[in-house]
């Protein structure tokens, strides 16, 4: 049975999630050796303008060392699917580590803790009058408590796609105090920018401290089949400083944003990520990625985001588990708003063919 494309052409189906045993076993024999040599993924996201390295390790190591030791085995077994472990998580869905969300606004803008995968679920609500065109998307932690994190909805009357992101599921207004960020596309619907809730540069105060930050940008490239085969995504995010905080990027005009910097190859304090290319599988006649039991439905929307220097470290993954339900897992250095906005961009009308 071939996973079908939206237009019913079976020749290049969308990426599917595979979880075959063979794959896992061959993985587990080679992975441990490779991962020992891997440098700490945290260093991939660090960008300049910081105190020297030695200082950083002294400061951070004492309290980090202990907990990263405990985390590592769990993290690997989760990601790399070492035989037995991944079987278990498939049946019982290994719970994610206890994540405390005391202050929602703070939590959703804070990078995921190092060594912890934050597992979430996105649900799409199409009910109601114009929900078919303007569904509301909700993000919850994928744990027993199902803690609500964010809601997003496309704005009407906007020339380009414009999604508002809110920390209140019932208040998706631009003026409300729950507005936490937005996702805006270009006219073509192929490039997106994610902002926090700061002010437009036109309304800057004297020292620009109130101006909105750009949290991320996403670029979709067509391939020979348009958007119907596996998509190519580039994700651009601000780098992290020596204290593992996001470097604030507050463009003063449209020529200074993440997209322009990336296009002009001005990559100071900017990190470029990509989706992991799915592999063609002759047996299933489809493109596949291993989501280790977190994704169950074939979809062109399924993706994993990685840094080209360490394609085994999944910065974020997103995929379908039911008609209107998706899992979204993210790791350091992303925060919930960045990951949710990147996921929302993949639903956008011009890209979607399902």
Question: Which comes out higher in pLDDT, residue 327 or 49?
Answer: 327
pTM of the model: 0.74
Q: For the chain, which domains are there?
A: 98-347 (3.20.90.10)
Contact 124, 324 (CB under 8 A): yes
Angle between helices 21-37 and 53-76 (to 10 degrees): 160
* 136 has pLDDT over 60: yes
Of the listed ranges 99-108, 205-214, 290-299, 343-352, the least confidently predicted one is 343-352
Distance CA 288, CA 277 (A): 9
- 169-181 average pLDDT score: 84
Q: Which two tokens stand for residue 58?
A: 């002294």
Q: How would residue 296 be classed by pLDDT, with cut points 50, 70 and 90?
A: confident
Contact 77, 303 (CB under 8 A): no
């Amino acid at each position: 049975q071939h996973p079908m494309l939206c237009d019913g052409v079976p020749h290049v189906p969308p990426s599917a999630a595979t979880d075959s045993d063979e794959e896992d076993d061959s993985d587990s024999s080679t992975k441990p050796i490779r991962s020992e040599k891997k440098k700490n993924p945290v260093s991939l996201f660090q960008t300049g303008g910081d105190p020297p390295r030695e200082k950083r390790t002294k400061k951070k190591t004492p309290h980090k060392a202990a907990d990263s030791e405990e985390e590592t085995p769990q993290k690997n077994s989760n990601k790399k699917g070492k035989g037995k472990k991944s079987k278990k998580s498939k049946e019982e869905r290994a719970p994610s580590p206890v994540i405390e969300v005391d202050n929602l606004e703070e939590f959703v803008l804070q990078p995921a803790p190092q060594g912890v995968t934050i597992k979430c679920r996105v649900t799409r609500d199409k009910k109601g009058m114009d929900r078919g065109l303007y569904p509301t998307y909700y993000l919850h932690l994928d744990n027993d408590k199902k803690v609500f994190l964010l809601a997003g909805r496309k704005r009407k009357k906007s020339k380009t796609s414009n999604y508002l992101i809110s920390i209140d599921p019932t208040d998706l207004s631009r003026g409300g105090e729950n507005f936490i960020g937005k996702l805006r596309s270009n006219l073509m619907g192929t490039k997106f920018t994610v902002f926090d809730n700061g002010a437009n540069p036109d309304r800057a105060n004297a020292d620009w401290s109130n101006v909105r930050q750009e949290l991320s940008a996403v670029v979709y490239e067509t391939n020979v089949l348009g958007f119907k085969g596996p998509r190519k995504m580039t994700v651009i995010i601000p780098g992290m400083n020596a204290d593992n905080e996001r470097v604030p990027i507050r463009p003063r005009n449209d020529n200074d944003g993440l997209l322009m910097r990336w296009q002009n190859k001005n990559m100071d304090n900017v990190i470029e990520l990509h989706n992991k290319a799915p592999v063609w599988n002759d047996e299933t006649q489809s493109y596949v990625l291993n989501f280790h039991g977190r994704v169950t439905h074939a979809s062109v929307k399924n993706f994993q985001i990685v840094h080209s220097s360490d394609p085994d470290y999944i910065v974020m993954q997103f995929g379908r588990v039911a008609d209107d339900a998706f899992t979204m897992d993210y790791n350091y250095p992303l925060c919930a708003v960045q990951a949710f906005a990147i996921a929302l961009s993949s639903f956008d009308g011009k890209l979607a063919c399902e």
